[in-house]
Amino acid sequence: MDQLSNLAINTIRILSIDAVQKANAGHPGLPMGAAPMAYVLWQKHLAHNPRNPKWPDRDRFVLSAGHGSMLLYSLLHLTGYDLSLDDIKTFRQWGSRAAGHPESLLAPGVEATTGPLGQGASNAVGMAMAERFLAGRYNKPDHTIVDHFSYALVGDGDMMEGITHEAASLAGHLRLGKLVWLYDDNRVSLDGPTSLAFTEDVGKRFEAYGWQVLRVDNGDTDLEAIDRALVAAKAETERPSFIMVHTTIGYGSPHKAGSSEAHGSPLGAEEVKLTKKNLGWDPDKQFFLPEEALAHFRTAVERGARAEAAWQKRFDAWAAQNPDLASEWHMALQGELPSGWDSSLPTFSPKDELATRQSGGKVLAAIAGKVPWFLGGDADLSCSTLTTLTGQGDFDGKTGLGRNIHFGVREHAMGAIANGLAYHGGVHPFTATFFVFSDYERPAVRMAAISHLPVTFVFTHDSIGVGEDGPTHQPVEQLMSLRLIPNLWVIRPADANEVVEAYRIAMQRGDGPVAVILARQKTPTFDRAKLASAQGVRKGGYVLCDAPAPQAVLIATGSEVAIALGAQEKLLAQGIRARVVSLPCWEIFAAQSPEYQDSVIPRAIEARVSIEAGTTLGWQRWVGDEGVAIGIDHFGASGPGGVLMKEFGFTADAVVRAVTDMVKT
């Protein structure tokens, strides 16, 4: 290792441990051990422009082992991104852009919000898929405008989490040749050596997945071996590459290197001084950046500017020859929608009695026909979720062609990969599975909400109406559970025309995910000539069918709205006037003005009943303390869906009884 490289690597290490020590919280060990591989990658291979972190054809780097965030912050500051030394000095503090784990909305150059292990690695798979898709659509034989790599730095914890098994398996199947994972193989986790719980041959596992596996035996000092491995990874176009770099966690610390003591806690003031002295640093200097090292890192600015300028020249030539594609490219990258994108959305009439999953499939196909960058798939359930994009072909990881992604039975990774597609930009992804399996996808849904990603999560088979498959496949608590996630819009449409509006909302939302919840069983399509327009969905909730001077309000979602309408008729026969409210999206409705909310669900009317085939917890928000929530607070059973709905009290008669009891009192 030459002297300048050694100085630069130690600068990463020392800056990282100083920030952790000042915060008195953090993970110093990974930045110290992984600094050499990160240095080689960022200085010799990573195509990026610190002055334009959003350059479309940049390489993506994801720190999946997000607990080692100071490694990334050090690299960003040193190479010239808009992350100052003062920002780093406030590491992990209130208001800091250098948060405890990397957050994509805070610091420029952070490609993905990471921390929950395995999510970032899976995001990188999605980024590599986005690169292939955009390359397949926009590259021409004489002009290449999409040609970049997706890198992830993963740790032992990532390798243990099941989500990475799923993601790696799919990446190998798709033969994503522009995906590279660097494995910080330090064999230490928080509780001690990984041998306590993790003794498998990781390299053989990845070979079985279909990856190219490369090994660096000395990741502490052998920069040439790291460089050779990266060169070999980039040269392999038929397979993703997995580089196993054996490192020493906490490298340089006299007493904590190689042990779990360097993993999740500051080294301590005395050990920091000893480490600095051991690495040839002045032990009394804090946040010291040698001018020679900083100048060396900042060459990334000029390299990045040159790389982007060369790309811009290619792009301009391509755009001149392909003006329509160029216009499409800009819209896709900006997250816009084509003019008239919704002109082909279907409309449904009362003669159309079909499940909302069926109408949903028709809507998805219409969207795909107008929005070329809309793509997604399901967890081996397309014949049931009905989410295949008709005529759009199957996604091919090598050519990038096709818009139907076959994720296989991999819900955990599916959601995180979709997030990676959205992080990358230029595409609008969706996923689909049975609603009960949203529990498998939930961590990724939560990450999408945190990062404000425009991902559409489709969940079908939404209640005990699933029927014969029994309680293991019948969602009960899932609907309310998703509503607990901040910044997630959960929409459960009542009929086919509400489905159209739900997807319209999902496509137009640019600052967060939308979950569309659909039913397996057939439901009537409401006669909108007699009832309110489905456009009321755009406000989250609306009066579907009113009554003069209503004495009661019936509030429902999904297939249970039809039950509310049936109860309304029966109540009228008894001389009780009831209003029916469809409330498909709580989050949007809650964002409306208090005046609008009260115009839909008047506070003056105490007789309120909610009907929803899910847990009743939370419905007090809309029905009040005196109201009645009809739901299911236990698991379902095996039997025909219609029978279960009746046996568990989802009938018009049950609603009538609840209302009459309140109105009489």
Residue-wise pLDDT for 313-355, tens only, equals 999 999 999 999 999 999 999 999 999 999 999 999 999 999 9
Topology at the third CATH level for domain 3-304: Rossmann fold (3.40.50)
Dist. CA 541–CA 25, nearest whole Å: 45
The pLDDT tens digits for 40-68 are 999 999 999 999 999 999 999 999 999 99
- Is the Cβ–Cβ distance between 16 and 67 less than 8 Å? no
Tell me if residue 111 is catalytic: no
Identify the residue whose tokens are 């003669």: 351
Q: What angle do CA 24, 29, 31 make, to 5 degrees?
A: 100
Nearest to 608 by CA among 592, 597, 619, 595: 619
Q: List b or e across 432-462, with b for residues whose CB sees 16 or more CB atoms inside 10 angstroms.
A: bbbbbbbebbbbbbbbbbbbbbbbbbbbbbb
| Helices marked H in 279-393 | 291-321, 323-334, 356-370, 382-385
Output the pLDDT for position 1: 84
pLDDT at 665 over 70: no
Proportion of the chain above pLDDT 70, given as a percent: 100
The pLDDT tens digits for 536-581 are 999 999 999 999 999 999 999 999 999 999 999 999 999 999 999 9
φ and ψ at residue 522, rounded to 5 degrees: -70, 145
The pLDDT tens digits for 618-652 are 999 999 999 999 999 999 999 999 999 999 999 99
Domains 354-523 and 539-664 share a fold: yes
Beta bridge partners of 457: 431, 515
Output the pLDDT for position 362: 98
Amino acid at site 185: D
The chain-wide mean pLDDT, for the chain, equals: 97
CB count within 10 Å of CB 171 equals 31
**Strands 354-355, 522-523: pairing kind:** antiparallel
Given 3.30.360.10, 3.10.20.30, 3.10.20.740, 3.40.50.920, which CATH number is that of 539-664? 3.40.50.920
Residue 510 DSSP class: -
**Where in the chain are the domains?**
3-304, 354-523, 539-664
Amino acid at site 569: E
The pLDDT tens digits for 280-295 are 999 999 999 999 999 9
Residue 525 DSSP class: P
> Residues 584, 467, 376, 496: is their CA dihedral positive or negative?
negative
The pLDDT tens digits for 489-537 are 999 999 999 999 999 999 999 999 999 999 999 999 999 999 999 999 9
Q: What does the DSSP assignment read for 259-301?
A: SGGGTSS---HHHHHHHHHHTT--TT-SS---HHHHHHHHHHH
- Is the Cβ–Cβ distance between 60 and 424 less than 8 Å? yes
Output the pLDDT for position 139: 97
Can you read off the two tokens belonging to residue 289? 């950046």
Average pLDDT over residues 221-243: 98
- Set 411, 441, 498, 612: catalytic member: 411
Given 3.20.20.330, 3.40.50.970, 3.40.50.10860, 3.20.20.70, which CATH number is that of 354-523? 3.40.50.970
Q: Is the pTM of this model over 0.85?
A: yes
To the nearest 10°, report the CA torsion of 33, 35, 40, 45.
110
